[in-house]
Amino acid sequence: MKTTSLNQTHRDMNAKMVDFGGWDMPLHYGSQLDEHHKVRRDAGMFDVSHMLAVDIKGEGARDFLRRLVANNVDKLVQPGKALYTCMLNPHGGVIDDLIIYYLSESHFRMVVNAGTADKDLAWMQAQRDERAPQLEIIPRRDLAMIAVQGPNARARVWEVIAGSQAATEGLKLFQAVFFDQYFIARTGYTGEDGFEIMLPANEAAEFWNALAAAGVAPAGLGARDTLRLEAGMNLYGQDMDETASPLESGLGWTVDLKTDREFIGKEALLAAPAKQQLIGLVLLDRGVLRSHQKVSTANGASEGEITSGGFSPTLNQSIALARVPLTVAAGDEVQVIVRDKALRAKAVKYPFVRNGKILV
Amino acid sequence: MSIPNDLRYTKSHEWVKLGNDGIATVGITQHAQELLGDMVFVETPVVGCKLKQGEECAVVESVKAAADVYSPISGEVTAANPELEVAPEKINQDAYAAWLFKLKPVNAADVNLLMDAAGYQKMLESEEH
C-alpha cells in the first residue's frame, strides 16, 4: 500500500489506519466525532499528502488550462489566487475536481484527488502532447500537504511557523503564498477557516508534531468526510464522476458557459441541459442516510438517489446530498428508502454548516 | 482487550448473558464496536416479537457504517434498552454494559452451545490473519 511521509507519525498517535484507494491513511485517532467537533470549535489537522500537487510549467500554460478545465482560468489575475474547477471528458463527465493556483504565466499548480491522480496525469499528458508539447507537467510527490482547519487554525499555524503571520494574515479565501519552504493557501474542505500547507515531505513529521504541541488535534478521513458533507462540498467518486454532468452535480457554478472560450466537454454540456440537481436532505425520522439510498417525492412519481449521506455531528441528525429531479424544491418533504422503510426527509439548500454555524 | 468470561459469543460478534431468571441479555462485543467506531443510531427489536436464531433483529449504525445484529438464539423479546435511543455512544463507552435487548429463550440451553470467551478470542485471532 502507498504511504505518506506521515505514516509512522499517525501510527505513533494511535491512528486507526484504513485502505483509502490504495493509500494507508488514518480514519481516526480514537473518536471521529471528537475530531469533527474540534475542527468546528478550535483547530484540527489532516494529512492530505495522498492528494497530488502537479506543476504545469512553461510558456502558454494559461492557454493550455483554458481548454483543459471547465472553469475559466482567466479569473486568475493576482499571483497566488486559486480556482476550483472540474476537468471534463469530451462527453461532459467529470474526470476530476481540482484546485488550480496561479503562480506566474509560466507556472500554475494543480492539486488533484489521490484516487484519480494517475488517470489525471495521463489525460493531461495526452492533451499536452497534442496541443502544447513545450509544457512540463511535473507531479510533486516530494511535497507533503497538511490541512489545518478550524476557527483557531490560522493562529496555531502562526505560532508554529515563525514570521508567517505577517506573510499570510492578509490572504483572502482562495489565495496562497510561498513562505520559506512552505506554500500556504487559505483553502480547505471543512467549511471552516484555515490553511492548506504544502512543504517538503521530509519535514512534514516535524511540522505535524509542532502543530500537535500547539494544540491542533490530529483528525482522520472520517471527520474529513463528515465535515465536508456538512459544508456541502462534493466528494469525487460519490457526488460526481465520469458518468455525471457537473450541471447535475451541484457544480454548475464552476462551469463557465458564458464566455465563448472552448473547453473540453463544453459542447456536450450545451447539448444536454440539466434534468436533475443536487440538493441537501435533512432526515426528519430516526436513522442514518447513506449513499445510494433511493429518494422519492411525496407523490412517489419522481425518483432520485443519495450521493453522499451520513450523520452530521453538528446538527446531531442525519444529512445527505441527493441527486433528484429539478422539480424538487427546498422545503419539500421527500421519502428515503432505508432498509425497506420509507423515512421522511426535508429538502434544503446546502451548505448545512459554515464557520461553526448551522444554516439549515 | 478483555473478553468477559461470564458471557457467550457469536460469530457475528454478539454477546449473550443468561441470567438466573432464565432471561438472555444481548449486546454487541467490544471488538464489534471498535470496528464500527462512534455509534450514532441504534434500532432495537419490538418487545413481544419472536425471533429465530440468526435472524436480523436490530441495527447499529456508526459514523462509518450500518451493521445488522442477529439474534444469537431463538426466543421472544422481553425488553429493549431505551437508553440507546438517545445515547448510542454508550455502546462505545462499555459494549458489555450497553445491552440491546432481552430475550426469553425457547430453549435456554442453546446459550451454552455458543462460543465461550476462549473460543471467541480464538476466532478473533484467526480473523486477524
pLDDT of residue A302: 62
Chain B, 62 to 121: residues with Cβ < 8 Å from chain A are: 63-64, 66, 85, 89, 92
Q: What is the DSSP letter of A251?
A: -
Q: Do A310 and B63 touch (CB under 8 A)?
A: yes
Q: Tell if the CB–CB gap between A288 and B41 is shorter than 8 Å.
A: yes
Q: Which of A16, A32, A291, A317 to mutate to test the interface with B (most CBs of B within 10 A)?
A: A32
What residues pair up with B77 in beta bridges, in sequence order? B103
Rounded Cα distance, A170 and B1, in Å: 50
CB-nearest partner of B40 from A16, A28, A311: A311
The Cα–Cα gap between B59 and B78 comes to 18
Burial class for A45, CB neighbours closer than 10 Å (0-12, 13-18, 19+)? buried
Residues 6+ away with beta carbon under 8 Å from A235: A225, A228, A229, A308
Q: What is the pLDDT of residue B2?
A: 83
Q: Which phi and psi angles does B87 have, rounded to 5°?
A: -135, 70
Element (H, E) at A103: strand A94-104
Mean residue pLDDT across chain B: 95
| pLDDT (tens place) for every residue of chain A, 360 residues total | 999 999 999 999 999 999 999 999 999 999 999 999 999 999 999 999 999 999 999 999 999 999 999 999 999 999 999 999 999 999 999 999 999 999 999 999 999 999 999 999 999 999 999 999 999 999 999 999 999 999 999 999 999 999 999 999 999 999 999 999 999 999 999 999 999 999 999 999 999 999 999 999 999 999 999 999 999 999 999 999 999 999 999 999 999 999 999 999 999 999 999 999 999 999 999 999 999 999 998 666 668 999 999 999 999 999 999 999 999 999 999 999 998 899 999 999 999 999 999 999
Q: Which CATH superfamily is domain A275-358 in?
A: Aminomethyltransferase beta-barrel domains (2.40.30.110)
CATH of domain B8-107+115-122: 2.40.50.100
Sheet of B24-28: strands edge to edge? B8-9, B14-18, B24-28, B101-105, B75-80, B50-51
